[in-house]
Structure 1
């Protein structure tokens, strides 16, 4: 079973929304809708057009994972929308690790220096994943002033690329 990682295509927007919302709402009980996330409704304008990017992982044309970078300022990215469908998590498929590696290579090739991210307190497995992948926990006050904080985020991380 091969995993296909590629840049965002408009034709799979609904699959992306249908992957992310149930993880947020059902698995983690985060009270958030698609309307609360305008970036999901217009991925190209929110990520790609502003100098970031958005990737999907698919198995047999089914989107099973996502990751994106939002350009915050020169040399600085915010990692966003890192989600993997429950049955594809873990070391068997390595979807999250593969998505992150792909995105980090893009960031390095495009001369970004640092990546920040915010997450909720509930996403414990995500915390372990980020820490395993060389993200260091920081305080909210350590974020750049231009970092767009999502209202549900309470835990923050940074990874320097150079």
Structure 2
């Protein structure tokens, strides 16, 4: 089947794709911060082993994008490290990954999903708003680039 998009779970053999996709995105728009290096250098330790999840979007069986759900508490997860390889932009992959993550959040009966972003990323902010995320006014972030926090009530 042509132009088939699928979502697959993290496996150790995919850790390099997780790092490469996110570093390419970060270098294009911002910079790779020390916390990024740490988390991307060992995603299994920083996401999976702490109760979170990493997913990949494939396009015709090639890795095209990635997204993570980072456990904050038992009922709050952070949508984290979403990136789509540039050659796959415009193929609805961001929407598909978002819908998949929100369906997972509902299955897990989470209270909310949060995310941190930057208001210069108009397409990303539009995507988050399209799915119901709302800006939070009072927040702090460990990332220098984050100037907006958004959240979506699930329950």
The CA deviation at 1:140 is 3.3
Contact 2:75/2:111, CA 8 A, preserved across alignment: yes
Structure 1 residues 128-137 or 149-158, which shifts more? Answer: 149-158
- Partner Cα distance (2:6, 2:92) in 1: 12
- 1:66 corresponds in structure 2 to 66
Output one character per residue of 1:29-52: Cα deviation in whole Å (capped at 9) or x when no partner.
x12168743111111111122111
Write out aligned runs for 1:100-139 (5 A): 100-139=98-137
The CA deviation at 1:83 is 1.0
- For structure 2, list consecutive stretches of 5 or more residues without a partner in the other structure: none
- Partner Cα distance (2:95, 2:16) in 1: 23
- 1:15 corresponds in structure 2 to 17
SS in 1 for 2:56: strand
Contact 2:50/2:71, CA 8 A, preserved across alignment: yes
1:158 equivalenced with 2:151 (yes/no) = yes
- 2:52 corresponds in structure 1 to 52
Contact 1:118/1:149, CA 8 A, preserved across alignment: no
Q: How many residues align?
A: 153
- For structure 1, list consecutive stretches of 5 or more residues without a partner in the other structure: none
SS in 1 for 2:50: coil
Closer, same or farther in 2 for the Cα pair 1:120/1:35, shift >3 Å? same
- 1:88 corresponds in structure 2 to 88
- 2:78 corresponds in structure 1 to 78
Contact 1:137/1:158, CA 8 A, preserved across alignment: yes
- Partner Cα distance (2:50, 2:83) in 1: 21
Output one character per residue of 1:56-95: Cα deviation in whole Å (capped at 9) or x when no partner.
01123422111111111120111101111223223xx211
